[in-house]
Structure 1
Amino acid sequence: MAGEEVSHDGLVSVDRARLWTLPDTVPKLVGAAVSVDTARWCAGWADGLITVNAPRETLVRIVDAYRDSGGRGPVNLQVHLSWAPDEDEAAHIAHDQWRSNVFAPPVCWDLETAEHFDAVSEHVTARQVAQVVNVSADPGRHAAWLQEYAELGFEGIYLHHVGQELDRFIDVFGAKVLPQLAEGPR
């Protein structure tokens, strides 16, 4: 990483590689974890951690595992959400766009084609999707969810609107959600 010559023989083989043009600031290496074991492992080498929204208990265990194992860098969260002007539309968007993403490992890791995802998600309900996507037409509810994540210890929260209409989402969250977070807890 400091311009030295590196060779490695393993899953990826590297023969006398060298980075000739070094950046002024070495980029941070952020580990991605969706399990407690991976969070612990990342604590040993990563400059920070990122995970995706999951049930509160799971998120607490992941953050605690990283911190208890020596992880000192920032802990970040990608939040899947669906917003629309009314509840039915927000639920429809989430179900249409994210129903194939409700399955736990190893199912979600082992599907090979879009057709496989369509087949396994054929009977997924909107209620099942709402367990993995924050779905609401209420900007205040979204702000409350985001505040709850921050209170779990997440320093960075990345918003992933699962819908395709991003202009309205950006406008509403910029005007009505983010200002509530800037005010702090109520």
Structure 2
Amino acid sequence: MTLKLGYKASAEQFAPRKLLDFSVAAEQAGFDSVFVSDHFQPWRHTDGHAPSALAWLGALGASTQRIVMGTSVLTPTFRYHPSIVAQVFGTLGSLFPGRVILGVGTGEGLNEVPATGMVWPETKERFARLREAVSLIRKLWSEDELTFPGEYYKTQNATVYDKPGAYLPIYVAGAGPQVAKYAGRMADGFICTSGKKWDLYTETLLPNVAEGLSLSAKPKPDFDRMIEMKVSFDPDKRRAMEDTKIWAALALTPEEKVTVHNPKEMERLADALPVERAASRWIVSSDPDEHIEKIKPYIDMGFRHLVFHAPGDDQARFIKLYGDLVLPKLRARFG
């Protein structure tokens, strides 16, 4: 597959209008895709944002011409009934044929619990809900008057009248073997994030994606292995390091944050971390060639869709620097 280079629109960090301006600039700078996070609450309370990704994607499509756009990731199982997700993405797909991807995952308690008042279920139930939701969404895109007697979701004579104008891919995000295998078997792409232990990719995620692909009912030569690359690139190395502090929450372990449902508490935990730990999830560099050498192992593993997430507040600076100094070198070297 051709290498695809995307921009991560951090909806938790920027107001909707500013985020839209950055994403339009990313298209102009040569990025191939824009993926937006879908949060009901941000990781930080101070200066945090949480716009509706569903509404924002419509504005992005209308403001751009070329880029592929999608969610990384949306949870179609708690805040949203899957039939509403099918309706929204049917509309987006009909407005912008061939340019929309639905990226889904099992969710974070920080988003789903405050909006619903629910008791956050165990992983087994969250995964079961995701599988059922994906099945229902696809049926609504292909069938009319659908009565769906699911365990978690039901419809009665439901029809999505504005279906996608072209085939709309569904990507599944995961950090464990079961979800990775499911993505390979049932989805059009797999999403994960960089900066974790190396054997998670080489021994767990990618082998299970491959096993899932081998179990798929049909060959998937265009199956997309997408990874969100956490990168802090700036000619000023000190600035690149300091930029990561605002995203220190990413360095918290699952055990440290799994029961946290409040942005203020998440912010408190993150702010207590030293900058070295905050930066541990990021590729931090000031030289383009060194930067590419640090990205190369992910490409060598088989990831062909890299979506770059930069932590700093000056996203316009990052987009310009990356578009001028990094993207051309990546394309020249890896095609």
Partner residue in 2 for 1:80: 230
Identify the range of structure 1 (81-90 vs 100-109) with the bigger mean alpha-carbon deviation: 100-109
Matched with 1:56 is 198
Aligned to 2:280: 131
* Range that drifts further, 150-159 or 97-106: 97-106
Structure 1 residues 32-47: aligned runs within 5 Å = 32-47=173-188
Deviations 1:26-83 (A, max 9, x none): 2011111112221012222111111111232212231121012226411110111112
Q: TM-score w.r.t. structure 1 length?
A: 0.88
Q: Could you say what secondary structure the match of 1:69 adopts?
A: helix
Alignment of 1:1-186 (within 5 A): 1-4=141-144, 5-53=146-194, 54-60=196-202, 61-70=204-213, 72=220, 73-95=223-245, 97-184=246-333
Q: Structure 1 residue 106: deviation in Å?
A: 4.3
Alpha-carbon RMSD: 1.9
Larger % of helix: which? 2
Change over 3 Å in CA distance of 1:8–1:107 after alignment to 2: farther
- Pair 1:94–1:18, CA change in 2 (3 A): same
Q: Distance in 2 between matches of 1:88 and 1:8?
A: 56
Query: Which structure 2 residue ranges, 5 or more long, are not aligned?
Result: 1-140, 215-219
Structure 1 runs of 4+ with >3 Å offset: 106-109
On the 8 A contact 1:143/1:178 being kept in 2, the answer is: no
Length, aligned pairs only: 184
With 152-161 and 50-59 compared, the bigger mean Cα shift is at: 50-59
Deviation, structure 1 residue 175: 1.1
Shift in Å, 1:104:
2.6
TM-score, with normalisation over the residues of structure 2? Answer: 0.51
Q: Which amino acid aligns with 2:321?
A: V
List runs of 5+ in structure 1 lacking aligned partners: none
Q: 1:140 to 1:165 in 2, by over 3 A?
A: same
- The CA deviation at 1:155 is 1.3
Q: Percent identity?
A: 18
